[in-house]
Structure 1
């Protein structure tokens, strides 16, 4: 993983006033990744920040495109160096947003979108209150469970952990500027587009 040096000169708040930072979050399995993928296909002018993670790549995932895949000690070193805008541990793996690339894109006036977990989204909200935060909700908890099970990627123990965490995450939806229910995919996508490009 190549991490750019931390941007210096202007303060982070001054940089954020030049562009816009949008945070998209929600529980695992809610479809935020699929929504993000379609959003980027339809709006190539958006800048999607690729996160770093210590988890192993899933089939078809490409290093530097889906995630920067790094080992735990390397991730911890980057944390110590202040290289992340936010970072959190989820399902026994670290996830983080490289700081320099995001601030550089915002400084150039780009609309930057982060698709991150709840703890990271909370860090962004505390540090950058001007960021727009969107929480994606499932139509029902049963539907969320069906989606997680339908992936066929996790053990029963991992599914139980994800579902327990999802319950707590859904309760946090009210902390965010906007809540969108991903019941019908196209409707949810249009709602996000309306917010970003109003």
Structure 2
């Protein structure tokens, strides 16, 4: 157990694109006075240091952008492959914060629930409760379309992307629930922050 008064050292906040996790994560981190690391930035850093031949999964969307239009289940498979490819880099970041005792919120689409069940990260052991996780879910495709429209109005309706996000979010939620991790339904939005805080405080079921 962390001795910093938070009850945790690393907080993982996952969920599909458009679900609202960033909108929840930054106020959560600010409230606890800790920084946020975005997994997208980790992906960008690894991409800059590798080639598509070295890390094909991590470079997939830049080398094969047309694959975003593949059937929903296939796109979800590709998303999960990226999760696995970036996992060692995320583990290294977790290990660094465990080692330095600097609390952090790590937020992003490419976080797997199984990370929170680990006890060793890049050779650094975590005590029970030091690494916690919650997953934000928005299962309504129409709401996801609205979320994308509000965030990226220049892109027009993104119906297929919303269907992918809903399905990917369901997969992450199923995995999280199987591990006893909190799944935070995005709506009602007015209480989402409170429910996130309660879920993290409670720890794994």
Q: Name the TM-score class by shorter chain.
A: 0.5 to 0.7
Match of 1:102 in 2: 94
> TM-score, normalising length from structure 2?
0.55
In 1: Cα distance, 2:189 partner to 2:148 partner: 16
User: Does the aligned pair in 1 maintain the 2:28–2:193 contact within 8 Å?
Assistant: yes
Q: Which residue of 1 aligns with 2:168?
A: 165
Match of 2:188 in 1: 184
What residue number does 2:177 align with? 174
Deviation at 1:134, TM superposition (A): 1.2
Which residue pairs with 1:53 in the alignment? 43
- Structure 2 unmatched ranges of 5 or more: 1-6, 57-76, 121-127
SS at match of 1:29: coil
- Say which structure is richer in helix: 2
Deviations 1:18-38 (A, max 9, x none): 953322222221100111122
Superposition RMSD in Å = 4.0
Structure 1, unaligned runs of 5 or more: 1-17, 55-67, 80-87
5 Å-filtered alignment, 1:1-198, equals: 20-44=9-33, 46-51=34-39, 52-54=42-44, 68=45, 70-71=47-48, 73=50, 90=79, 95=86, 97-117=89-109, 120-128=111-119, 130=128, 131-138=131-138, 140-152=140-152, 153=155, 157-175=160-178, 176-196=180-200
Q: How many matched pairs?
A: 158
CA distance in structure 2 between the partners assigned to 1:179 and 1:91 by the alignment? 18
Give TM-score, length-normalised by structure 1. 0.57
Deviations 1:98-135 (A, max 9, x none): 444432322343433222336x3234145338432212
Of Structure 1 and Structure 2, the greater strand share is in 1
